[in-house]
Amino acid sequence: MIWLLDLDNTLVDRAAAFGAWASDAVAQVGGTADDLAAIVAADEGGHGSKEALARVIVDRLGWPDDVPAAIERFRAGILAGIRPYDGVLRSLEVLRAAGHRVAVVTNGASAQQRGKIARCGIEPHVDAIVVSGEEGVAKPDPRLVEVALDRLGASDVDRRDVWMIGDAAHADVAVGRAAGTRTGWVSHGRAWQGGDRPDVVAPATREVIALAASPRSRGAVG
């Protein structure tokens, strides 16, 4: 079996890291709850424009009008607070011990995503890492899945033996469907609103992996 896993809010808790940084940044300048809410909303769970987010931060917190510098500040804050979800690295090791191949497939800038992976000690637990910023193509473009499968030496594998798992319907589930793989959605308690449901849905990554790895899921066609 081949496992392709998103990084942010799938293997690592980016939402908590950004939220903690934003709360501290607002408190440092005596900002308000409305300022914090505006900054968190502009982040769009990590999927929004970094330039637009930086503009909101500059306006709300009175920072110097230097968008690139603001982006570097909040990226550094995320890196300082990033942590893997409890038990998720163990789940990856269990998969690999069973002979499965595992890759991280993430959208984002190379330095930032590689920094998260290094800080959280993920690389020793996977067989390949694919970062959109290094490949010139991003999820939901299925070419990123093809890059990952090639790195794993699995370009010709039956796509029913491949799982794409992540928290973002528009990127992770969509890229899996476009590439013909099975899909697992990490809901974090949200309701699915994207039409046909993914093959597996659960609140946490470990639960999605466990369900997808079960004999029942392996025997079904997604």
What's the pLDDT tens digit per position in 192-214? 987 889 999 999 999 999 999 98
Write out the two tokens for 199: 């093959």
- CATH fold group of domain 2-13+84-219: Rossmann fold (3.40.50)
How far does CA 57 lie from the centroid of its chain? 23
How many Cα atoms are found within 13 Å in the side-chain-facing hemisphere of 64?
6
> Across the chain, how many H-helices and E-strands are there?
11, 6
Q: Cβ distance 1 to 103 under 8 Å? A: no
Give the pLDDT confidence of 20-73 residue by residue, as tens digits: 999 999 999 999 999 999 999 999 999 999 999 999 999 999 999 999 999 999
Nearest-angstrom CA–CA distance, 94 and 92: 5
Q: What is the 3-state secondary structure (H, E, C) of 12-80?
A: ECHHHHHHHHHHHHHHHCCCCHHHHHHHHHHHHHHCCCHHHHHHHHHHHHCCCCCHHHHHHHHHHHHHH
pTM of the model: 0.94
If one counts every other C-beta atom within 10 angstroms of the C-beta of residue 158, the result is: 10
Domain ranges of the chain: 2-13+84-219, 14-81
The per-residue pLDDT for 218 is: 57
Residue 105 banded pLDDT, cuts 50, 70, 90: very high
* Model pLDDT, residue 215: 76
| Residue 221 scores a pLDDT above 90 | no
Chain CA centroid to CA 207, Å: 16
Per-residue pLDDT, averaged over 78-84, amounts to 98
Tell me the HSE value of 18 on the side-chain side, using a 13 A CA sphere.
Answer: 26
pLDDT band at 222 (very low <50, low <70, confident <90, very high): very low
CA-nearest of 174, 148, 171 to 162 is 148
Could you count the other beta carbons within 10 Å of the beta carbon of residue 68? 10
Task: Summarize pLDDT for 122-143 with one digit per residue, the tens.
Answer: 999 999 999 999 999 999 999 9
pLDDT digit string, tens, across residues 173-196: 999 999 999 999 999 999 998 788
Contact 7, 106 (CB under 8 A): yes
pLDDT value of position 50:
97
What's residue 42's pLDDT? 98
Amino acid at 221: V
